[in-house]
Amino acid sequence: MKRLQAYKFELTPNGEQIRMMRKYAGNARKVWNLALDRQEKNHVAGRKFTSAFGMNCWIPEWKKEFPFLCESPAQTLQQVMENLAKGYEKFFKKTADHPVFKKKGKSADSFRFPDPKQFTIDQSNNRIKLPKLGWIRYRNSRAILGSPKNITVSAKAGKWFFSVQTECEVDQSLHPATSMVGIDVGIKRFVTMSDATYIEPLSTFRKHEVTLAKYQRRMSRKTKFSSNWKKAKARIQKIHNRIANVRNDFLHKATTTISKNHAIVCIENLQVGNMSRSAAGTSETPGRRVKAKSGLNKSILDQGWGEFRRQLEYKQSWLRGEVLAVAPHNTSRTCPSCGHVSAENRKTQAKFECTECGYENNADVVGAINILNRGIKMLEGQDTVDASTGCESTARIACEVNGAIMPSAAGTRRSDLADGYMPLPCAAGISVLSAQAVTVR
């Protein structure tokens, strides 16, 4: 099986190379804006959308009008047309917004070399050769596996990086684990699993919030676009970049740990964009409890639930595992023992106590158990979720994962592991006192 994978490294160019890369990125932005403007004018005039091949024919004309475009490698400008064509294609399919104009300082500076013949990577000497730039040193943190396909050079927070996409052949072995787990994401606990283990949240933005606000106040007192204003802006960008890097590192470690230890992962199909939407409302219909909702939105976005799911899905696909997204309604209000659904079951944010049968547990653990049960229903082929069936069910499920049949039974005992059954959590076998925090840092 062929796998496409990207490796990103930090470049250490000299002053002349930095100036040239800024120029290439600026020329790519200029061509993007020119092509987008012409496409919009053609649309107003009633003409059809021009393909990437047709847009490439516009570049010689623009090079005569703007001679500085000739300084960029031709492939980087042609790749801009490919990107714009793909942007329109996604817009027509209603999977993305309409392409917008790019502005210096607000859009990322980047350019791409799409042909592997255009660049050379010397891993032994920690350097890379790019057209018109020559050899550039880079911080070699790991080996690049596979054959390179293309390279993208980008700038972020005053530093330059290159990302190389490779294609390599991997074996189609089965997933190293044979277990199935349900995961409930939250704010007090970043991840709570159905086996009662959990991962503490990192809350990177909250830790840097005071420092960030201090430098934002300093920037607001300076004259806009002055030298001191630009220095203050660069400092703020550096803080934002550190927040993003720490969060991304945390998510990678968490998803790697989970994907390696579980063949099937059940998660909630959360609409994070809707959950973090502003409650301010309008002047005619102002919102209620806007400040509290704003704080909640900040905490939700600080956790990175969407990126957590994205990483989990592609890592499970690499290991030939599975990620099941189940309906999120009433997962923390349903009793996993008797199936009773009520808002009164959740006494506090953390405590769950069933008003029907008296079952007690941590609310997040209960949510993870119910997510797991709904994932089992999906594997059984049932479209609807039967809340009356708890984890005490004795029905065996034949789960086909990676071509291997892994029978399981809800409420399995530890002694059943030797018989090849997957352990599923039993309501009576999980206690809040037995929960353990998993450290992924």
pLDDT band at 415 (very low <50, low <70, confident <90, very high): very low
pLDDT band at 430 (very low <50, low <70, confident <90, very high): very low
pLDDT band at 174 (very low <50, low <70, confident <90, very high): confident
Residue 302 known to be catalytic? no
pLDDT digits (tens, 9 = 90+) for 76-119: 999 999 999 999 999 999 999 999 999 998 888 999 999 999 99
Instruction: Enter the pTM of the model.
Output: 0.81
Contact 151, 112 (CB under 8 A): yes
Active-site choice (268, 302, 313, 322):
268
Residue 284 known to be catalytic? no
Alpha-carbon span 157 to 152, nearest angstrom: 17
Lookup result for tokens 């800024």: 22
CB burial of residue 143 (10 Å; 0-12, 13-18, 19+): exposed
Alpha-carbon span 351 to 336, nearest angstrom: 14
Q: Tell me, what's the pLDDT at 284?
A: 80
Residue 184 known to be catalytic? yes
Asked if residue 250 has pLDDT above 50, the reply is yes
Q: Tell me, what's the pLDDT at 16?
A: 97
Asked if residue 32 has pLDDT above 50, the reply is yes
Residues 256-274, mean pLDDT to the nearest whole number = 94
| Closest by CA position to 107, among listed 39, 52, 163, 155 | 155
pLDDT digits (tens, 9 = 90+) for 359-398: 999 999 999 999 999 999 998 875 443 333 333 332 333 3
Instruction: Count other C-beta atoms under 10 Å from residue 230's C-beta.
Output: 14
pLDDT digits (tens, 9 = 90+) for 194-245: 999 999 999 999 999 999 999 999 999 999 999 999 999 999 999 999 999 9
Active-site choice (109, 184, 195, 322):
184
More confident residue, 61 or 283: 61
Contact 188, 350 (CB under 8 A): yes
Active-site choice (109, 195, 313, 364):
364
CB burial of residue 26 (10 Å; 0-12, 13-18, 19+): middle
Strand pairing of 120-122 and 159-169?
unpaired
End-to-end CA distance of the chain: 32
Asked if residue 439 has pLDDT above 50, the reply is no
